[in-house]
Amino acid sequence: MALLEVRDLKTSFKTDDGIVQAVDDVSFSVDKGRTLAIVGESGCGKSVTCLTIMGLNPRQNTITSGEAVFKDRDLLTLPQDEMRKVRGAEISMIFQDPMTSLNPVHTIGRQLREAVQLHEKMPKQAANRRALEMVKAVGIPRAETRLDDYPHQFSGGMRQRVMIAMALINNPDLLIADEPTTALDVTTQAQILNLMNQLQRDFGSAIILITHDLGVVAETADEVLVMYAAKAIEQGDYGDIFYRARHPYTWGLLSSLPRLAQGAELKPIPGAPPSLLRPPPGCRFHLRCTYAFDRCRTDVPPLRPAPDGSAHLDACHLDETAKQRGSEEILDRITVGGRL
């Protein structure tokens, strides 16, 4: 039994211009100690998927259906006060921007303590001790003195460490990290990814990592879900996505990476993602897909398993030979460009 099992998740928002279907029929599961990466361009619904699971969408004008079963409870139907006990204790979240997700007027010691005391009755000193342990665990130097510092006294990388400390302080079973390293430099990114891997080993948490950087996915993910225009278009383990990719959109994402071009021309995906207010008929990717044919413009491709019977799913009308050829081309790029 998976730790989190999401089935047929749909989220839509009512806006003045009509209904925006932000997540459309997404299913996945995350096991203990594993990392699931959700990949896609901005606006594809990857963040909304996680906000829906956490119950953080605005209550008004949001329509949600499907289920998200976490430890035998469906999070989508859980009452508010029950959900509040889950958030921050059993499931916690790290956000992209460490500059804006900490409260600037409280010391980080106080903010960490608050995270503990919200979920556990504990005297201040004990909570402080827990905060100190956690700050040490995420590798902030001179931890004792830094608890009394305010967020502005920390650098970007250190602030992200504080966020991680806060997220892990109640030893959650599931950590959702929404673009945790996008705002950071490569060296800091390497530090943070290293830290997350190490903490995952130590605490055994499951991680959902939202990112648009396939390099980060290659470094950390066990399972990968590729989203495009609110739909899951391909999912499988990391080998399926990098070495046996079957969807033209996944090929496009990989071909856009400068590293894999090796000096040759980049092959970007033309155009931009469609509006979710009025998504195109048929396959949502057909307007940008160089392989599209008549059927793609009318029929929505279902998410189907690969013929080898594995858990590798893709939603594309292309025939088996075309998919094979495409994935071999990408494999060439990865083996040549993805050397040390």
User: Which of 98, 151, 157, 301 is the binder for other proteins (CB under 8 A)?
Assistant: 157
CB 196 within 8 A of CB 177: yes
86 or 164, CB closer to other proteins? Answer: 164
Site residues for other proteins, 32-51, by CB under 8 A, read 41-42
Minimum CB separation of residue 96 from other proteins in Å reads: 13
User: Which of 89, 269, 283, 292 is the binder for other proteins (CB under 8 A)?
Assistant: 269
Minimum CB separation of residue 27 from other proteins in Å reads: 23
Dihedral of the alpha carbons of 316, 321, 325, 327, in degrees to the nearest 10: 40
Site residues for other proteins, 95-124, by CB under 8 A, read none
CB 212 within 8 A of CB 42: yes
What is the distance between the alpha carbons of residues 225 and 216, in angstroms, rounded to a whole number? Answer: 14
Q: What single DSSP character describes residue 227?
A: E
* 135, two tokens: 């700050």
b/e per residue 27-51 (b: at least 16 CB within 10 A): bbbbeeebbbbbbbeebbbbbbbbb
What is the distance between the alpha carbons of residues 135 and 129, in angstroms, rounded to a whole number? Answer: 10
User: Which of 32, 74, 171, 268 is the binder for other proteins (CB under 8 A)?
Assistant: 268
5 in contact with other proteins (CB under 8 A): no
User: Which of 149, 203, 256, 300 is the binder for other proteins (CB under 8 A)?
Assistant: 256
Binding window for other proteins (CB under 8 A); candidates: 21-29, 65-73, 85-93, 216-224: 216-224
Residues lying near other proteins in the complex (CB under 8 A): 41-42, 141, 155-158, 185-191, 193-194, 212-219, 221, 238-239, 242, 252-261, 263, 265-270, 272, 334-335, 337-340
